[in-house]
Amino acid sequence: MSPNEIYDFILSVARLGVPLIFAAYGGMLSERSGVANIALEAYLLFSAFAAAAATSIFASLWMGVLFGLLAAALVGVLFAVVCVYGRGDQVVIGMAFNLLAAGSIPIFNKALFSITGSTPALPMQLRMTEPLIFFGLALVFVLFLEFLFRKTKHGLRITACGENPMALMTQGVSYKKLRLRAVVEGSLIAGLGGIYLSLCQGSGYARDMAAGRGFIALAALILGAWRPLPTFLACLFFAATDAVQIQLQGKAIAGVLIPNSLIQISPYVVTLILLVFSSRRVLAPQAINKQVSE
Amino acid sequence: MIESKNLSKSFGSTQALSDFSLKFEEHKIHAVLGENGAGKSTLMKLLFGLLKPTSGEIFIDAKKVEFQNSLDAIAEGIGMVQQHFCLVESLSAIDNIILGAEPCKNLVLDRDNALQELKAKLPDKSLHVPWHQKVSELSVGYRQRIEILKLMYRESKFLILDEPTAVLTPQEIKSFFALLLRLKEMGRTIVLITHKLNEVFAVCDQYHVLRSGNLIASGEVASATHSQLVKFMIGRDLQNTGLSQAPALSNDSSPSSKALVFAGVSTEQGVRGALKNISLHVMKGEILGVAGVEGSGQTKLIEALLRICSFEGRIKFLDYDISNESRTKEIRDMGLALIPEDRHTQAIWLEESCAKNFIIGIEENFQKNYFFDEEKIHAQTSSWQKEFSVKLQSLSQSISSLSGGNQQKLVFAREILGREPKFIICHQPTRGVDLGAIEKIHAEIFRLRNSGVSCLLISSELDELVSLSDRIYVLYDGKISGEFKRSDFSRDDIGRAMMGVTVEPSAGLSNEGSNGETSGALP
Amino acid sequence: MKFFISLLSSLFILSLGILLALTLVAFIGESPLLVLKILISGSLGGTREIANSLFYATPFIFTGLSVAWAFQVGLFNVGAEGQMLMGGIAVTSLGILLPDLSPVVAIPLAFFVAFLIGGLWGAIAGWVKVARGAHEVLVTILLNFVAFGASSFFILNVFRNPESQNPETFEIGPHYFLSSLSFFDPSSPLNQMIYVAIFCALVFSMVFRKTILGFYQRMSGAAPGVALRSGIFIDRQIIFAMFISGGLAGLASCGTIMGYAHKAREGFANGAGFIGIAVALLGRNRASGVVLSAILFGALAKGSLDLDLDTQFVTRDLALVIQACIVIVVASQPGIELFYRNVLQPRLLAKYFTKYAESKK
């Protein structure tokens, strides 16, 4: 490969990695505080949609960003409340939120724009054209989260909350409030990923545009042992498989043309293989998806 | 000074505490006594703000207080150490201590400052722990110290300690008592929740006895007697005074061969409680006691025998080498009864009926072509229930509605009557069980032994071990640190062995060394 | 008696879920009553409508049983969609490659193959869980994506019918066709597969209520510590459960492929795997509950088809929203019960008890 191609590939990885990183970090805050979160897909979809819709309606990128973040926060609050106060299985609740996203977004779309599927395409001046800004932001988050968990009060409490909420209770800290806060903070971070998807990577919201990235982000979180730097690297790795997959579409390998439908699933296959062969049984936060008795 | 007036707490229709009124005198060590379910934990949780009272009031220094959560209680100077420690294993000792009251300098945690402050509040170095080590790597003794350090850091004036000596060795208990006395000198008021009467007499000033949620008696320890307190606690006299005496070994029961042999057994290293090249044996028809602090390898011992964890070395059970191929079911069907440590997660199926719980592990005796033979189940379990007097209303009721003691009786009935055991493992058999039921369980263990069943008794209650066992092994850090014959039982020596000080075996024991001299071959 | 209480509370949850969804409808400016009317008339308005609702319900019974079986063993099978696709591929391949087998052999063989392949797809997740500790939710979701790609490949590339405008395969041999139910509207796609579904529900019920196998399966999920010490191989129980669960989901594809389309069309699963999750939860993981919930969701699926056309803002995706709301309400049950026990009940008791005490004075 020529230097140009390598450079393009690296850029591609960075671009594809951004939504994964933000989604994974959104999940990290939630899961480390003890709330299992498989609704990352829903975060991405809702914030992507809200951002695109608002940009279209108000003809302003800033409104798009604002609404994207608001949508993410709203979903975060709802999810947190149902998980913490409903005391149900958080994995089931997460699936429900994913279904909610898949079901309600087309309806909102039809209500706002009278078409199902996508929001109106955004003209060039209403798009963010520099994806690397987002990637830079992602790098900042890597440093920030490492700092958060090692050296701040909030990070310490989140870690404690995910391992043994009773420890917090007996020291006078409400684990419920902490979990609510952590989940919402996480949803805001994940919202940045959604905003990126519809305002930067795409030209508006397209149906099911997250395409399973929320789940890959979850896999990256697990492989990264719920720690900021390893998770970042795992996200980049998955982004690389995605970049490779895109390159391979339509190209013949050893003279054989592999159909796109098979190439497109290669990132998932790679993820599966990695999960199978990562021999550490990585320990999730101990208190995850468990209820504290009252 | 803390006072409660007419404090009551009910959960739905269960009344956990009724009308509790008491003044806890300052600068004294109080003992709150009572059986399981008497209301001790409920009372303490109310005082610490973890629960809100259904009615009644709490006064601190004559000022009425209402705790919304433990933060309020902490602010009033109350501190509590629960029976099961509330520590975050992946964090360091100092992090655990400052959790909830972390000092910060510009958004950054100021651990050094915290450490300095903490050290200043301590009387001397006796309470120091490895500050920056993760709790997961620290021993039980250190962990308890960390719990107490939390209270010191917050300068709690009123300390509530729930069964603090349950996990300590005799020597550690002595230093713990010294610590309590020093804290009393420093002006603290201490409340011990305990069921160990000898501790009450060793260190407490006043006693308060709870029974079925009511305060039955209160008074000065100096003027009370052992049997008086027992009578308060259970409402009647015990047939024996406290724990059962061991009947003398009859001539018949001299064991002729070995029921269980471990030869050079090691389990996966790096795990807490891993076995390290252990060799031991249990003779047929003897009660073998295993002492040791938590995490010394007791659980792995059982898991290796049951083959639910992997191990190196050889294990011979009832003259059959099970090291290579045997499966748990086969081993159990050879006549191995098990009373596990954690009843709720290892012995019973909480959501299921009593009848179904009676047949766990022996289902194949109750089937008719892959289906359950409901009639046979009913008939058989009814008779078992009567034989062991398991108090229940109907066999089809859920086992979760039975009391702890009755649940344990059901487990015993299942394991003893359901199989014809030649060997029984009892892991903390009387934990969480009332005094009356404890007598019965001890009696049952003796009856089994006298009919030729070998028993492996693992317990943290030294009294229980000493009164029941024919021999005692002491485990420390996955190795055997002491072996004692009945004639040589000494609480001091056993206690030292529990701390890892290897004790020389007395003359006349078998030729297996007690500090790890082993041979790989089976005897 | 217990059955009726369960039924009532399930109905309550269902109503709550629909209510929440209708609130959303009102929020976007559509009339909830109109939506409700469309849903009901579209699903129950006539024999044709009822027959079609039952047709939609058939795969939901299978996927509901699939997810319910897994839940009984403490596992969450999110992969019913992928397992259904793989089962469908298997059946279609059989039907295309061996069209001349006699019907007596063909149909049972097709069922067997659907079950086997769906089951293996599920067992993969079971194996990864026991061997590697990976949570079955993530593995089954990833396997779903792989199955999407595999089935697309299969339908669009391997067996694609070049003469058809639609993305679909060749027809399967006529010996594999299932016939319509004669006493219903014969032009409706409702077919004999529903008998198979009811049969599977009966077997499911019997296994978990009366057999030792069911006892071991449930114990492995509910009380693994006890099961382990009694000699049960929990690993094997888990893999077996995922195999059966996957197999049931695999069977779900037969109704559409063998009884209606007679070929595999792109997207033939149509979300049935995910609907199975709501069906199982609403049905409390019991066979009877699953069948009733499946019929309900079938009616919902049929009724919501017209939402696209007959309303201004609402689409058929409302069915997904309703499902999601139902699942959320079911999942919040522990919290609601706790609230009732700790907050409402004491207050109610205090209010009425003091009244009673007063009246006695």
Per DSSP, the three-state class of B7 is: strand
Examine the pLDDT at A113 and tell me if it is beyond 90.
no
The better pLDDT of the pair A279, B465 is held by: B465
Q: What's the rounded Cα separation, in Å, for the pair A244 and C344? A: 58
Q: What's the rounded Cα separation, in Å, for the pair A261 and A266? A: 9
Interface contact flag, A276 C128, Cβ < 8 Å: yes
- What does the angle CA B27 – CA B32 – CA B35 come to, to the nearest 5 degrees? 170
Within 203-242 of A, beta carbons closer than 8 Å to C belong to 212, 215, 218-219, 222
**Closest-CA residue in chain C for A97?**
C324
Give Rg (Cα) of chain A. Answer: 19
Within 133-172 of A, beta carbons closer than 8 Å to B belong to 151-153, 156-157, 159-160, 163-164, 166-172
- What does the angle CA C181 – CA C186 – CA C189 come to, to the nearest 5 degrees? 75
* pLDDT tens digits, B383-416: 999 998 888 888 989 998 888 888 999 999 999 9
**Range with the poorest average pLDDT among B179-193, C53-67, C175-189:** C175-189
Q: Specify the CATH architecture of the domain A10-277.
A: Orthogonal Bundle (1.10)
Output the pLDDT for position B172: 83
For residue B363, what are the contacts with CB-CB under 8 A and spacing of at least 6? B372, C212, C215, C216
* pLDDT tens digits, C308-356: 788 888 888 888 898 899 899 988 888 888 887 777 777 777 777 777 6
* pLDDT tens digits, C109-136: 999 999 999 999 999 999 999 988 888 8
Examine the pLDDT at C40 and tell me if it is beyond 70.
yes
Give the 3-state secondary structure percentages of chain A, helix then strand then coil, rounded to 5.
75, 0, 25
Output the pLDDT for position B241: 42
Give percent of chain B above pLDDT 70.
92
Give the helix/strand (H/E) hosting B371: strand B371-372
Examine the pLDDT at A25 and tell me if it is beyond 70.
yes
Size of interface A-B (CB pairs under 8 A): 69
Give the helix/strand (H/E) hosting C112: helix C103-132
* pLDDT tens digits, A209-247: 888 899 999 989 988 889 999 999 999 999 999 998 888
Q: Which of B331, B350, B371 sits opposite C210 (nearest CB)?
A: B371
Mutation target vs C (from A41, A49, A93, A107; most C CBs, 10 A cutoff)? A107
The letter for the amino acid at A203 is S
Give percent of chain A above pLDDT 90.
57
Q: Confidence class of residue B349 from pLDDT cuts 50, 70 and 90?
A: very high
Q: What is the mean pLDDT of residues B298-307?
A: 92
Interface contact flag, C327 A215, Cβ < 8 Å: no
The better pLDDT of the pair C64, B44 is held by: C64
Instruction: Round to the nearest angstrom and report the end-to-end CA distance of chain B.
Output: 64
Output the pLDDT for position B497: 87
Interface contact flag, A169 B86, Cβ < 8 Å: yes
Mutation target vs C (from A180, A249, A261, A269; most C CBs, 10 A cutoff)? A261
Output the pLDDT for position B505: 53
Give Rg (Cα) of chain C. Answer: 22
Output the pLDDT for position C1: 66
- Cβ C196 vs Cβ C209: under 8 Å: no
B48 touching A (Cβ < 8 Å): yes
- Cβ A174 vs Cβ A62: under 8 Å: no
Q: What's the rounded Cα separation, in Å, for the pair C228 and C47? A: 52
- Cβ B440 vs Cβ B448: under 8 Å: no
Q: Mean pLDDT in chain B?
A: 85
Per DSSP, the three-state class of C201 is: helix
Kindly state the tokens that stand for B81: 């150490």
Q: Mean pLDDT in chain C?
A: 89
Interface contact flag, A96 C327, Cβ < 8 Å: yes
Distances B102 to A148, A170, B136 between C-alpha atoms, Å: 14, 14, 21
Distance from CA of A256 to the nearest CA of C (A): 14
* pLDDT tens digits, B438-455: 888 888 998 898 888 999
For residue B150, which of A156, A155, A171, A174 has the smallest C-alpha distance? A171
The letter for the amino acid at A16 is L
Q: What is the mean pLDDT of residues C274-295?
A: 93
Interface contact flag, A107 C318, Cβ < 8 Å: yes
Examine the pLDDT at C47 and tell me if it is beyond 70.
yes
Chain C residues touching residue A93 (CB < 8 angstroms) = 327-328, 331
- CATH code 1.10.238 for C47-294: no
Touching subunits for chain C (3+ Cβ pairs under 8 A): A, B
Output the pLDDT for position B246: 55
Distance from CA of C150 to the nearest CA of B (A): 39
Examine the pLDDT at B257 and tell me if it is beyond 70.
yes
Sheet with strand B471-476: strands edge to edge? B336-339, B423-427, B454-458, B287-291, B471-476, B479-485
Polymer length in residues for chain C: 361
Q: Where along chain C do its domains lie?
A: 47-294
Output the pLDDT for position B364: 87
* pLDDT tens digits, B80-134: 998 888 899 999 999 999 998 888 888 888 888 899 989 888 877 778 889 999 9
Chain A residues touching residue B50 (CB < 8 angstroms) = 169-170
Size of interface B-C (CB pairs under 8 A): 68
Q: What's the rounded Cα separation, in Å, for the pair B173 and B166? A: 9
- Cβ B426 vs Cβ B458: under 8 Å: yes
Beta bridge partners of B191: B30, B160
For residue B459, what are the contacts with CB-CB under 8 A and spacing of at least 6? B289, B290, B291, B426, B427, B428, B429, B430, B465
Examine the pLDDT at B503 and tell me if it is beyond 70.
no
Distance from CA of B88 to the nearest CA of A (A): 6
Domains of chain B listed by start with CATH number = 2-234 (3.40.50.300), 251-335+420-498 (3.40.50.300)
Within 80-109 of B, beta carbons closer than 8 Å to A belong to 80, 82, 86-91, 95-96, 99-102, 104, 107-109
* pLDDT tens digits, B11-67: 766 788 888 888 888 899 999 988 877 788 888 888 888 888 888 888 888 888 888
Distance from CA of B387 to the nearest CA of C (A): 23
Examine the pLDDT at C170 and tell me if it is beyond 90.
no
Chain C residues touching residue B330 (CB < 8 angstroms) = 231
Q: What is the mean pLDDT of residues B490-517?
A: 61
Q: Check residue C267 and give left, alpha or beta (phi > 0: left; psi -120 to 50: alpha).
A: left
Q: What's the rounded Cα separation, in Å, for the pair B301 and B316? A: 13
B62: number of Cβ within 10 Å = 7
Give the helix/strand (H/E) hosting B471: strand B471-476
Output the pLDDT for position B226: 84
